[in-house]
Structure 1
Amino acid sequence: MSTLQGKKIAVLTSQEGVEKAELESPIAAIREAGGTAVHVAPKLEPVQSMVGDTDKDATFDPDATVSDVDAADFDALVIPGGTVNADHVRGDAASVALVTAFVEAKKPVAAICHGPWALVEAGVLPGKTLTSFPTLQTDIVNAGGSWVDETVFHCPANGWDLITSRNPDDLEAFNATIAEVVGG
C-alpha cells in the first residue's frame, strides 16, 4: 500500500515565480505515493514557474483558490519556494491565514527554499527549528525560530510537524520526509 493512500495535501503557491522543481516534484511524489495533491493559489489563473529563480518556464493551472479551501479538508500543506513566489505568498493575507489555519489545526506543514517566509509572516516559528535557503536564516531567527543548515529537517515541537529543506537539490529527502510524516 502506498504511504499517502487516502491523504489529501494542499500545495500553496502565488501566481508568480514558483520554482518549477519545487512545485512539480512534491506534487508528483504525493501522487506516486497514493495521495491527492491539490494545487492552491490566490486565483484560478496560470501560475508562472521559474527555473533557478531567473528563467521563466512552464505555467501550471491551480486546482482551487485559497479562498475556496479549508485546512480542515486536508491532511497537510506544502509550500514551494522561489523567491518571487514566496514573497507573494507571504504578502497575501488569505494565503497567510491558510498557513496559520494548518498550524492551529496541528497539521503538518512542509516548506522548501524560500517557502518558510510564509511561516515567518504567520508568526508560528517560536520554538521551532527549521532549515531554508540560507538567506532566510536571519528572518527565521528574528521570528523566534532556530535555523540549521541541513538537507531536510523535521521538527515535531509545539504539537505540529514542520518539514523544511534548503533548495531543489534537497527534493528527494524533502519528499520522502513528507511521505513518512504525513503517511506515518
Structure 2
Amino acid sequence: MSVNKPLAGRKVIVLATDGFEYSELTEPKRMLEEAGATVVVVAPDDASQIKGWKGGDWAGSVKVDHSLDQVNADDYQGLLLPGGVMNPDKLRMKSEAVALVRAFGEAGKPIAAICHGPWTLVDAGLVKGHKVTSWPSLRKDLENAGATWEDREVIRDGNLVTSRKPDDIPAFGKALIELLAA
C-alpha cells in the first residue's frame, strides 16, 4: 500500500439513483479515488447515467458503471450511500438495493451513509444498536429502528460511518477512508 494511496486495490460501490444530492456522491467519490480506491457507481435500473440534485433543482449527471444486478458485495470492500431525499427513498423501495446493503452489513464491510442515506440502512436492518447521525428529519426513523442518534458531523460506529449534510463531507470522507484503510 502506498503512503499517498492508502486505498490502492480497494473497490467501493456508490449505490444511487436519480435525485441523489450531487455533492454527497461526487465529493466522497473524488476523495476515495484520490486515496487510490476504484469507485463504481451502481444504479438499480439499466441507466447509463443518473441525475443529481442541488439547492432545490436538478444538478449534473453522473455516469453509471453497473446496474444493480451486475454487482455482488463479495467483490467490493466498501459501500457509499449518498443522500438527497429522492435517492434513498427510491432505493429503499427496491428489494435488490436493500439486499445489497444488507449483504455489506452482514459481511462486516464498511458502509458510509450521509444525509438521508441512512434510510436505506433502516430498511436493511443495520442500525439497531448502533450510534448514528443523519439529516435531522431522519432522527425518529433511526431511533425507532433501534439506533442511538446524535447531531454530530460524523459518527463511526463499528463498520458504519454516518454524517449529516454536504458541509460534513470533508470529515465524512476522511472517516470512510480511514475505515477502508484499516
How far is 1:86 from its partner? 1.1
1:58 aligned to 42, 57, 60, which one?
60
2:41 aligned to 21, 39, 42, which one?
39
* Corresponding pairs, count: 178
> What secondary structure, in the 3-state scheme, does the structure 2 residue paired with 1:81 have?
coil
| Corresponding residue for residue 183 of structure 1 | 181
Q: How many angstroms apart in 2 are the aligned matches of 1:138 and 1:87?
A: 16
TM-score with structure 1 setting the length? 0.95
Does structure 2 retain, via aligned residues, the 8 Å contact 1:131–1:148?
yes
| Corresponding residue for residue 116 of structure 2 | 114
Cα RMSD, aligned residues only: 0.8
Q: How many angstroms apart in 1 are the aligned matches of 2:125 and 2:107?
A: 15
1:164 aligned to 162, 165, 179, which one?
162
Q: Please list every run of 5 or more consecutive structure 2 residues that lacks an aligned counterpart in the other structure.
A: none
Q: How many angstroms apart in 1 are the aligned matches of 2:117 and 2:94?
A: 13
Q: How many angstroms apart in 1 are the aligned matches of 2:126 and 2:62?
A: 29
How far is 1:116 from its partner? 0.1
Q: Please list every run of 5 or more consecutive structure 1 residues that lacks an aligned counterpart in the other structure.
A: none
How far is 1:147 from its partner? 0.3
Stretches of 4+ aligned residues off by more than 4 angstroms: none
Determine whether 1:140 maps to 2:138.
no
How far is 1:44 from its partner? 3.1
**Residue type matched to 1:136 in 2?**
L
1:82 aligned to 76, 81, 84, which one?
84
Q: How many angstroms apart in 1 are the aligned matches of 2:6 and 2:138?
A: 31
TM-score with structure 2 setting the length? 0.96
